Structure 1
Amino acid sequence: MQRRYLGLTAAAIATTMTATLTGCGSGSGGDVTLQLVAADYGSGKSNASRLYWDQLARGFEKKHPNIKVDVHVYSWTDVDKKVAEMVDAGHAPDLAQIGAYADYAAKGKLYSADQLLSIPTQANFTPSLEEAGEYKRVQYGLPFGASTRRLFYNKKLFAQAGISGPPQNWDDIAHDAQLLKAHGVKMPFALPLGPEETQAETLMWMLSGGGGYTDSIGKYTIDSPENVRTFGWLKDDLVGKGLTGTDPAKLDRAAAFKAFADGDVGMLNGHPTLMKQAEAKGIDYGTVELPGPKGKAKATMGVADWMMAFKQNGHRAQAGTFLDYVYSDKNVEKFSGEYGLLPVTTSASQAMQEDDRFAKMHGFLQQLATAEFYPADKTSWPLVSKTVKAKMGAAVHPNGNPSGVLTEIQNTADAADNAAE
């Protein structure tokens, strides 16, 4: 609490200074155009993120006629690379809504949250997300869209296999997967450890087994006994017994989600957007907290994408004014509802929790406060994530060596961490 109080005090000072120097951030010194690069969360033209941003920008400009917002939206495949190219070329955008912030923060290229936001806006972020946006105990990453993970199961396939309810622990998963396999289900348990999003599936299982990527002080613990035990179990009790239906190293998350929506998967770990995908295909599904070896997992994985403001163009006050508008309840709730994501602010989360229209989101939302995130505050994380994507799938192959693979990734992580110091 003391650290948060001090941070908000700094925010108050920064806000006061901004108001004094720039007329409360209204752009009173002349017209300013903010350039925003954002990621596309839409599934097609009808709900492309450009539609959301265009409407938001026009609403903001009506209230602040001296500040224009020029929005450029790119696919998730391209957006991080596009921002990196702009920064490297010396033409950083004023604002970027992308997947990682730590490297830019480490190089001193970003404004901190308390240099940008009003006190009410900064104080309103969900605490777990605010902390996940910190680099060296200063918040530079502003959370923008969040999700947690739960285990999805196909109720029809479970009933046909004689399974009365969802699994509660790992033994249940293996037992239920055997029954599903016996009833001809193509993928009793879909385990996507292909290169698309391996780092996510890996963390979910690490947390299920009582481990994780790092310890409480941020040191990598990739080859911990808990993680070795977890991936040994996956190798021997799921993959080795033919209960995944396919080689996990060749299965991407998107393909696994599609297979679930097509009725070919009994169980898998998923995030909220899978609900719409499954419902569109008429799948009767349920969700449950991630099972652990003996009961519920110690935590689930949380994921957040990040908004950040670059210093290069000197538009701190105008960017802060725009971000206060972006993080208003109305806009946060609209974005979350449109794209099946969790709100990143306390007030919008409370509103969703009290709204029966979002009843299926409530389980995901309740987990957010205790969710664990990627170590995105470490500049070594991009390399570690890339290494996990390249290697973890093979670790659970029947001929794989989970301990050896985890140790190899640990060595890469340690070397990257040491190089960053």
Structure 2
Amino acid sequence: MTVALAGCGGDGSSGDVTLKLVAADYGTGEGNKSQAYWDGVARSFEASHPGIKVDVTVYPWTDVDRKVAEMVKDGKAPDIAQIGAYADYAKAGKLYSADEMLSIPTQANFLPKLADAGRVSRIQYGLPFVASTRLLFYNKDLFSQAGLKAPRTWGDIASDAGALKQRGVTYPFALPLGQEESQAETMMWMLSGGGGYTDDVGSYDIDSEENVRTFDWLKSNLVDKGLVGPVAPGKLNRAKAFEAFSRGDVGMLNGHPTLMEEAEKQGVNVGMVQLPGADGPTKTSMGVADWIMGFKQNGHRVEMGKFFDFMFNDENVIAFADKYDMLPVTDSASASMEDDPKFKPLHQFLTTLTNAEFYPFGKTSWAQASGSIKENIGKAVEPGANPQSVLQHIAQESSAAENAE
């Protein structure tokens, strides 16, 4: 791996500077790799900023976090990294804060919930790069054939799933609690039950009364009644659930914008509603964000700031969100998409994003907590299981990780 770092041009000094940028690939094949997007942004930036070059390397999501960690460990940190987490690097003092790099208009333009999610000890180090949120998806044709309306409550989900099962639907409600991304499915259900991963002061609260009640309901009303399909939730990964929905084999599941497009391509008539709660639609939804950050090692604070100010203009933000069916992270780009009929399919997601709750990204222990959720949460709904004891086990592992920070 070649790391082309320029040795000159530190904090505000003159001379040619090469910014090393490492990013994740959001593409699904050769035709839509992220390298093309980054090359376009880099060349446009260079044309208007003589003396600053941008050297971009794109890695698959399966590799990018590890690659950056190795570069940092070897003393060859990139200037800019677009990856999944920032907190470890911020806690280690390796990142510039947002206000050390960005102009005030750029920093003020982030959606407030996303800016808050980028903070460690009340200082923003993680710059939100792209976002997504979740809605409940349902197959309109299957619902119509069964004489059903879109669900609004947990009770609706249970009764609708029962009706769909009677009609031979393979997965009346697909519940992916396998290891691929079960921390997302878990958080969506916790939020819909009035709980979440943390309490009001930010401490883990995974085995709260609300969360236990939610998983008791899931086990008793969906899983034990055989309404989640032929694969046990703990063995069902999100990708397989999404594939089944796109084939028309799923009545309901929690989904994101990319699934909407893929399912419609395959002829599924997709309905979407706010996540149902115990008594009605939930007021919050789960949001997901990926991050971009600036490392201190090479001292290119000023040059990175200029690049970020350029990168976060509406044209660039919307271009990436549009290409990959994601959501923009700035107020102005969100407003622009809401005003554009071209983006009407995303408007419901854009509205949901303003009230979304995010993973506790600012905790360096979150990676371990998330790992424990992926490993164990499927066990909470297994035959004969006690959801409370499983949640307590996850809570103990998560708190131990937090106390070890």
Give TM-score scaled by structure 1 length: 0.92
Counterpart position of 1:7: none
Following TM superposition, by how much is the alpha carbon of 1:406 offset from its aligned partner in structure 2, in angstroms? Answer: 0.5
Within the candidate set 207, 225, 236, 2:209 is matched to 225
Which residue in the other structure is 1:304 paired with?
Answer: 289
Deviations 1:258-299 (A, max 9, x none): 111111111000111111111211111110000001101231
1:246-257 equivalences under 5 Å are 246-257=231-242
Q: Which residue of 2 aligns with 1:4?
A: none
Instruction: Give the whole-Å Cα distance in 2 for the aligned partners of 1:397 and 1:361.
Output: 36
Question: Is the partner of 2:288 in helix, strand or coil?
Answer: strand
CA offset digits 1:355-378 (Å, max 9, x no partner): 111111111111112110000101
Contact 1:40-1:74 within 8 A present in 2 as well: yes
Contact 1:210 1:298 in 2 (8 A): no
Distance 2:59 2:381 in 1: 34
**Shift of residue 21 of structure 1?**
6.3
**Distance in structure 2 (CA, Å) of the matches to 1:94 and 1:200:** 30
Residue number in structure 2 paired with 1:204: 188
Shift of 1:78: 1.1
Which letter does structure 2 place at the counterpart of 1:405?
V
Q: Report what 1:355 is aligned to.
A: 340
Q: State the SS of the aligned residue for 1:214.
A: coil
Q: In 1, distance between residues paired with 2:186 and 2:67? A: 27
Structure 2 residue 210 is the aligned partner of structure 1 residue 213: no
1:65-144 pair list within 5 angstroms: 65-144=50-129
For 1:221, the aligned partner's letter is D
Aligned equivalents of 1:405 and 1:304: distance in 2? 27
Aligned mates of 2:53, 2:172 — CA distance in 1: 52
Matches of residues 33-52 of structure 1 in structure 2 within 5 Å? Answer: 33-52=18-37
Q: Which moved more, 1:142-151 or 1:410-419?
A: 410-419
1:286-305 alignment runs, 5 A limit:
286-305=271-290
**SS of equivalent residue, structure 2 residue 61:** coil
Q: What aligned pairs does 1:236-385 form with structure 2 within 5 A after superposition?
A: 236-245=220-229, 246-385=231-370
AA matched with 1:366: T
Contact 1:154 1:283 in 2 (8 A): yes
- Counterparts of 1:104 and 1:399, CA distance in 2: 42
Deviation (angstroms), 1:77: 1.1
Residue type at the aligned position of 2:268: I
> What's the offset of the Cα at 1:62?
0.8
CA drift at 1:215? 1.1
* Structure 1: distance between partners of 2:145 and 2:25: 39
Secondary structure of 1:120's partner? helix
Give the match's secondary structure for 1:96.
strand
Say whether the 8 Å CA contact 1:102–1:135 is kept in structure 2. yes
Helix, strand or coil for the counterpart of 2:358? coil
Q: Which amino acid aligns with 1:126?
A: L
Which secondary structure state, in structure 1, belongs to the residue aligned with residue 96 of structure 2?
coil
Distance 1:127 1:298 in 2: 17
Q: Structure 1, residues 36-91: CA drift from partner, whole Å, max 9, x if none?
A: 11111112111111111111111111111311111111111111111111111111
Correspondence for 2:137 among 142, 149, 152: 152
Distance 1:167 1:329 in 2: 36
- Contact 1:128 1:371 (8 Å CA) reproduced: yes
Q: Does 1:393 align with 2:382?
A: no
Return the offset for 1:399: 2.1
After the TM superposition, list the runs of 4 or more consecutive aligned residues in structure 1 that deviate by more than 4 angstroms.
Answer: none
- 3-state SS of the aligned residue for 1:301? strand
* Alpha-carbon distance in structure 2 between the residues aligned to 1:344 and 1:176: 35
TM-score (norm 2): 0.96
Aligned to 1:60: 45
* Whole-Å separation in 2 of the counterparts to 1:250 and 1:415: 27
Find the residue that maps to 2:354 and give its secondary structure: helix
In structure 2, relative to structure 1, the CA distance for the partners of 1:415 and 1:396 (3 Å cut) is: same
2:85 is paired with a residue whose SS is: coil
Which whole-Å CA distance do the structure 2 matches of 1:366 and 1:398 have between them?
A: 38
Deviations 1:181-237 (A, max 9, x none): 111111010101100001000000000000000012101110001000000111111
Partners of 1:59 and 1:321 in 2: CA distance: 13
**What one-letter code is carried by the residue in structure 1 that aligns with 2:151?**
P
Q: Distance in 2 between matches of 1:418 and 1:150?
A: 34
Amino acid at match of 1:297: T
> How many pairs are equivalent?
395
SS of the counterpart of 1:241? coil
Post-superposition offset of 1:398: 2.1
Aligned 8 A contact 1:236 1:398 in 2? no
